Structures are given as structure tokens and as C-alpha cells.
Amino acid sequence: MTALPDPDYQPQFYQAVASKRLLAWVIDSIIITLLCFGVSLATVFVGFFFWPILFLVLGFAYRVVTLANDSATWGMRFTGIELRDLSGHRFDLRLAVLHTSGYSISLMMPLLQVISIVMMLTSSRGQGLTDAFLGTVALNKRV
């Protein structure tokens, strides 16, 4: 049993969530890129030599901190969605780390990312692979 809204009886919580997640991902990627540029400039351009590692580390930290604080990254907040667990609760630090780890693993293995995208587009709750594994879901933010 879950405390999440039922997609059959409350579809408004799941409407357009997949497209909002895509837009949120683009916004978050831009924010992480800007953070990396800032760090690179602050380190007198040394950060540019380690760009992939810097992007990975800052991206991981950005996602964990924003998910643990408000259950949504800044991109998700902009698009009006948030992540919840099976009980309907917001993410805590542990769940934010687990979700970000799952996301990072799926990015490293393109087949997993494709599976995750297909799942978001076809499942009734719009859950990706990491969401299904952890029992989390992205919802339109409650007003």
C-alpha cells in the first residue's frame, strides 16, 4: 500500500511530469555547468583540466543537497515537480543520496538510462528505473 496519489483517480499529480523532468534536467545541467565554470575561474582555470570529474562531483553534491532540502532540485522547483517516497514524504538525506547514486549509475550505463526514460514515458506513475527501485515518484507539486 502507498500514500501516493492514485494515477487513475488523481491523474493531475502525474500530468506532464515526464516532460517537466526533462526540462528540469536541462535547467539543472545548466546550473551545474555554471557552478563548474565558477569553480574553474576561482581556481585560476585549474578546474578546466579536471572538468569531467568536477562536473560529476559538483553535480552529485548539487542534486543531493537540493533533494535533501526540498525534495526537488532547482530545475524541478522551476517546473513545479517534486520527488516523494512511497509514504508521500519528502526526501531526507539518505534517500537523496540513494536517488542521486541511482541516477549517476544510470548515466554511466546508457542502456539503463534508456530503460529509465522508457519507464518514465510508459508507467502509470511516470517512474524511472531508480524511482521504481527505491519506490519514489515525481509529482506535480501540491498547491
- As a whole number of angstroms, the distance between CA 76 and CA 62 comes to 13
State if pTM tops 0.85: yes
- As a whole number of angstroms, the distance between CA 98 and CA 78 comes to 23
Residues in the chain: 143
Per-residue pLDDT of the chain (143 residues; tens, 9 = 90+): 578 899 999 999 999 999 999 999 999 999 999 999 999 999 998 999 999 999 999 999 999 999 999 999 999 999 999 999 999 999 999 999 999 999 999 999 999 999 999 999 999 999 999 999 999 999 998 76
Q: Residue ranges per domain, the chain?
A: 13-140
